[in-house]
Structure 1
């Protein structure tokens, strides 16, 4: 009897481990909660380049991992769908010195071109753009720096988890299960930070548009993504 119990416990543990190791997978619980995969691990379905073309060879898919190759010149890629209130989660890793980002509410502005708020991805140690606090990993790029006390960043070559929550005017950036940025898009602090940023001449006001695509940035260095999923709020 005891042996049967041990065998059953082993099988349950084995099953749980197998499920935990599945890439780009939605559990029954995820589906019930309204989660949708943005990357199926096998194709570029649901994605296009920022210019509207098919995704080029500068992006690769191998073993369930989506990668912008170093020097591949694949360009940024965006979702074919637009999102307003959402929760987005994914895992990423950068190569040494690499720079990337996740843009949301990405759309065309009357003045300023195609833009979006950006969750910065960076090798904080060696990337060229590491000299400004609001350009570091987890920041709202060029607007708000991530919390120094809460930020726990894994080094280049290791996976980091991201969560972005946008609900109404409120936005949160999470890095490895810690909330590192939180702001309201209609707050004075946000508007003042935009006025002091490179986006101060954008029309309509930068960050005021409530709907847009999700963008994964190709910035010349290697960056990889997996487990990209979104839930409408």
Structure 2
């Protein structure tokens, strides 16, 4: 049997940076740059989750990596609960809207209960289903996944080229700044953030949408292009 220490050493040799080691959130911070509170995000038995209240809902806020990444490969595992909605954001930066208001904004790998969460099906928005580039691109055909099961995602950025993977299958690819991307940006709710037109680097963010979700095995490696 391969020991945990051997696995960690192997990841370091292959240029993997462990963003969550199952023990602490030292590589993460809040939107305001503060330490993540233990009463909002919970680390238990090697798993990270939004700490649930008495109704089973998360009570934290989005958390971001302390470092920014340009070209990278990000891998993590997630588990949803029934009707849960969350996401993994990348290229996250403090951006100003047209009125000068600033907030942390990036591009989102959508994670949602495709079956029981009502909005995507009700409003017929495939770009709101799991694996989609939220509000931009739907997935191609993907295998169904079950809530309460662990699933693995991969996000790859190579200059302007982005790929979304789910459980070993590539389900989305697109180009930041392409005519198609710019057309979609102009029509969706993020059009007030002009810097998204050619965003090139930023933080990784785990989204709190008020629902109970779980994450583990979060790692990233920088790519040279």
Match of 2:77 in 1: 91
- Which whole-Å CA distance do the structure 2 matches of 1:26 and 1:193 have between them? 41
2:163–2:172 contact (8 Å) kept in structure 1: yes
Determine the structure 2 residue equivalent to 1:55.
36
- In structure 1, what is the Cα distance between the partners aligned to 2:147 and 2:202? 29
Superposition map of 1:1-233 within 5 A:
15-16=1-2, 26-56=7-37, 57-70=39-52, 71-111=57-97, 113-131=103-121, 132-147=125-140, 149=141, 151-204=142-195, 206-233=196-223
CA 1:69 to 1:191, structure 2 compared with 1: closer, same or farther past 3 Å? same
In structure 2, the CA distance between the partners of 1:142 and 1:157, relative to structure 1 (3 Å rule), is same
Assess if the C-alpha contact under 8 Å between 1:25 and 1:37 holds in 2. Answer: no
How many residues are matched? 211
1: CA distance, partners of 2:197 / 2:88: 14
Contact 2:89 2:108 in 1 (8 A): yes
The 1:207–1:152 alpha-carbon spacing in structure 2 relative to 1, beyond 3 Å, is farther
- Deviation, 1:165, is 0.2
| Matched position secondary structure for 2:191 | coil
Structure 2 unaligned residues grouped into runs of 5+: none
**Offset at residue 29 of structure 1 (A):** 3.4
The 3-state SS of whatever aligns with 1:193 is helix
Q: For structure 1, which segment, 50-59 or 95-104, has the greater mean C-alpha deviation from structure 2 after superposition?
A: 50-59
State which structure, 1 or 2, has the greater radius of gyration over its C-alpha atoms: 1
Which structure 1 segments of 5+ residues have no match?
A: 1-14
The Cα shift of 1:27 comes to 4.3
Q: Distance in 2 between matches of 1:153 and 1:162?
A: 14
Native 8 Å contact 1:116 1:207 kept in 2: no
Q: CA deviation at 1:48?
A: 1.1
Secondary structure at the residue paired with 1:38? strand
Between the aligned partners of 1:187 and 1:175, the Cα distance in structure 2 is: 24
User: What is the deviation of 1:40?
Assistant: 1.6
The whole-number CA distance in structure 2 between the counterparts of 1:127 and 1:25 is 40
**Judging changes above 3 Å, is the alpha-carbon distance between structure 1 residues 182 and 73 closer, same or farther for their aligned structure 2 residues?**
same
